[in-house]
Amino acid sequence: MSDKNIKLRGIITLVIVATALFFLIPSITQKIPSVWKDYTDKIHLGLDLQGGMHLVLEVETEKAVESAMERISNELKDTLMEKRVRFKHLDREGGAVTTLELPNKETSAQFAKILKNDFPNLDIKSSEITDGKEKVYLKIKDKQIESIEKFALEQSLETIRNRVDEFGVSEPEIIPQGKDRILIQLPGIKDPQRAINLIGKTALLEFKLLDESHSLEDALRGNVPTGDVVAYGYRVESETGRRTKTPYLLKRKTLLTGESLEDARVSISDRFGEAYVSLTFDSQGARDFDRITAANVKKRLAIVLDGVVHSAPVIQERISGGNAQITGSFTTDEAHDLAIVLRAGALPAPVRILEQRTVGPSLGQDSIDKGILSIMVGSILVLLFMVMYYNLSGIVADIALFLNIILILGALAAFKATLTLPGIAGIVLTIGMAVDANVLIFERIREELRLGKSPRAAIAGGFSKALLTIVDANVTTLIAALVLFQFGTGPIKGFAVTLSIGIICSMFTAIFVTRIIYDYFIWDRNIKRVSI
């Protein structure tokens, strides 16, 4: 091999190391030109290192389908009444199935026609005819269900993004997972519970009239009048701290929802200094509210949030300004968060927390410190061991190892990979395993030397014979690491990433870089003895 070749390989190495340093240095020091910062990024730390919250939510998309069915059933009812088709017992039968009864063949035919023309999204699931009466079970078409569910997930994502943005978290990550899950990463969050309340609240705001013509006591005993529901309101007495529960009998029909809101703000009442949320309707909402209040003066209108009655004031007079208030015993924070969720809009379906992991910032810092200590101690031990065992060749391996660490960290920064605690463990492990390639080569060289070969031949033989072994051995580890990457979440993925990067970098430094050093000494300096 000629001198020129060594130069070329040296230059390649320099370029690669320089590139790694280019990406790595911004993570080490801030004292660099801002142009540099523009093109690079600091190594991204996982939540387990910088602290924060990891949440996995499940959107109960089936609930979105149910409410779609509720809506369609109401439309169907109106249409049938409008077209004077006789029917009985139109009811939503748990879940997303609606049933109704048609008294005779004629109505059955009319119904079938309406269904075909006006309700293309409905399917007859089954029907049974007894004494000429037909009982029909309706369901939403599968394709439509799919799109409702998809929409529910998208809408939830959008809403949660808005809420998190308003809450003020830097670099949040909100991504869909599978058909109905949302992964949320909130770095540096201080009050996890508050964030959970904010994100997880459905925030379905509804205005419903109280049914004052029926007896509440009767309804509580189980005789809920048709078209009515029982809902509860809660109040915390400020003096005793006791929570009281008040039942209300409400009309099922929702007059207005949070969708008609334009804005929601926190205000503090003059008289008691209590926080409340003032609502502003959009123009259509304001008109609706005007109409509703005008038609129901002296009746009580309940403000229901996620099924809980917040207040049920008596409508004193027609309200035309398009403003309303939600009062209740809120703390200022609660009122503030409620305003956020109302502004961001309701979730199309309730969400359930499947997984929550929160790491405090102090534990994160602890882990970073301990991780760095482990890397240092591990590296020093390995560096010393290699020099002890292989003398000057050990130093060559140590140079390779040092470059390897720079390359790994540079690659992490360049690929915007996330460094996690297991990721640090991956680096530590790679340090131990990276020298393996050199050990393989060195042992081979020793063997060749023992066979009486010249240093030149021994080194050439050692490298070429060890090469295939090194590749084979590393590919299998890489397979395990790749599987891990596919399977893993968060921290584990970080481990797979550093392990994979480490294996690839180590092959470069241990084979390519050390060879240059040997070739330089053998060809340029013409040394006669290998210190190994």
Partner 1 sequence: MEIIKPGINIDLVGKMKIAFVFSLSAIIISILSLILHGGPNLGIDFAGGTLVQIKFSQETSADRIRDSLKTIDLGNSVIQRFGYQDNNEFLIKTEKSSSAIKGLSNKIEEALNSSYNKGDFEIRRVEVVGPKVGRDLREKGMLAMLYAVIGILIYVTWRFELRYAVGAVIALLHDVLITVGIFSLLGKEFTLPIIAALLTIIGYSLNDTIVVYDRIRENIKGIRKQSLKNIVNSSINQVLSRTVLTSVTTLLVVLALFIFGGAVIHDFAFALLIGILIGTYSSIFIASPTVLVWESISPSKEKRKK
Residue numbers 50-109 binding partner 1 by CB under 8 A? 56, 58
Q: Which is nearer to partner 1, 473 or 504 (CB)?
A: 473
Residue closer to partner 1, measured from CB, 88 or 243? 243
Residue closer to partner 1, measured from CB, 28 or 353: 353
Residues 299, 315: contact at Cβ < 8 Å?
yes
Smallest distance from the beta carbon of 242 to partner 1, in angstroms?
17
HSE, CB side, 13 Å, CA atoms: give it for residue 307.
6
Q: Which helix (H) or strand (E) holds 174?
A: strand 173-177
Segment contacting partner 1 by CB under 8 A, of 9-17, 120-128, 206-214, 346-354: 346-354
496 near partner 1 (CB under 8 A): yes
Residue of the chain from 196, 445, 505, 516 that contacts partner 1 (CB under 8 A): 196
- Using the rule CB under 8 A, give the single segment among 7-15, 38-46, 226-234, 364-372 that binds partner 1: 364-372
CB of 314 to partner 1, least distance (A): 34
Binding test (CB under 8 A) with partner 1, winner from 41, 290, 333, 366: 366
Strand partners, 419: 45
Q: Which is nearer to partner 1, 51 or 322 (CB)?
A: 51
The DSSP result for 240-307, as a single string, is T--EEEEEEEEESS--EEGGGEEEEEEEE-TTT--EEEEEEE-HHHHHHHHHHHHHTTTSBEEEEETT
Single-letter code of the amino acid located at 413: A
Task: Enumerate residues 400-439 that contact partner 1 by CB under 8 A.
Answer: 421-422, 425, 428-429, 431-433, 435-436, 439
Rounded CA Rg of the chain: 35
Please state the closest distance from residue 350 (CB atom) to partner 1, in A: 12
Q: 196 or 346, CB closer to partner 1? A: 196
Transcribe 235-252 into DSSP letters.
EE-TTT--EEEEEEEEES
Contact with partner 1 (CB under 8 A) among 5, 147, 193, 283? 193
Cβ proximity to partner 1, 303 vs 382, nearer residue: 382
By CB under 8 A, the residues from 14 to 43 that bind partner 1 are none
Closer Cβ to partner 1, 122 or 499, answer by number: 499
Q: Rounded to the nearest whole angstrom, what is the least distance from the CB of residue 480 to partner 1 in the complex? A: 4
Q: In this chain, which stretch among 92-100, 144-152, 206-214, 445-453 interacts with partner 1, using CB under 8 A?
A: 445-453
Shortest reach from residue 496's CB to partner 1, in Å: 8
* CA–CA dist 160, 225 (Å, integer): 37
Number of residues that bind partner 1 (CB under 8 A): 74
Select from 59-67, 210-218, 249-257, 475-483 the region that touches partner 1 (CB under 8 A). Answer: 475-483
- In the chain, count of helices (H) and strands (E)? 15, 19
| Distance separating alpha carbons of residues 168 and 344, to the nearest angstrom | 13
Binding region for partner 1 (CB under 8 A) out of 117-125, 278-286, 353-361, 504-512: 353-361
Token pair for 394: 């050990």
Question: Least Å distance between CB 68 and partner 1?
Answer: 24
Q: Is residue 465 within 8 Å of 441, Cβ to Cβ?
A: no
Helix (H, G, I), strand (E, B) or coil at 28: helix
DSSP label of 214: S
**Residue in the structure block whose two tokens are 């139109």:** 90
Q: How far apart are CA 108 and CA 115, in angstroms?
A: 10
236 contributes a contact to partner 1 by CB under 8 A: no
E strand residue ranges, 70-166: 88-92, 97-102, 122-130, 133-140
Q: How far is the CB of 52 from partner 1 (least distance, A)?
A: 11
Binder among 65, 169, 481, 511 for partner 1 (CB under 8 A): 481
Sequence-separated (6 or more) residues with CB below 8 Å from residue 35: none
Which residues, numbered 383-402, are part of the site for partner 1 (CB under 8 A)? 385-386, 388-390
The total number of residues written for the chain in this structure: 532
- Of 241-300, binders to partner 1 (CB under 8 A) are none
- Using CB under 8 A, which of the segments 17-25, 83-91, 127-135, 483-491 binds partner 1? 483-491
Q: Segment near partner 1 (CB under 8 A), from 157-165, 327-335, 469-477, 516-524?
A: 469-477
C-alpha dist (Å) from residue 46 to 26, 203, 295, 402, 415: 17, 31, 57, 24, 14
- Identify which of 211, 234, 230 has the alpha carbon closest to the alpha carbon of residue 220: 230
Q: Is 126 in the site for partner 1 (CB under 8 A)?
A: no
Rounded to a whole number of angstroms, the minimum distance from the CB of residue 73 to partner 1 is 30
- What is the Cα–Cα distance from 460 to 420, expressed in whole angstroms? 40
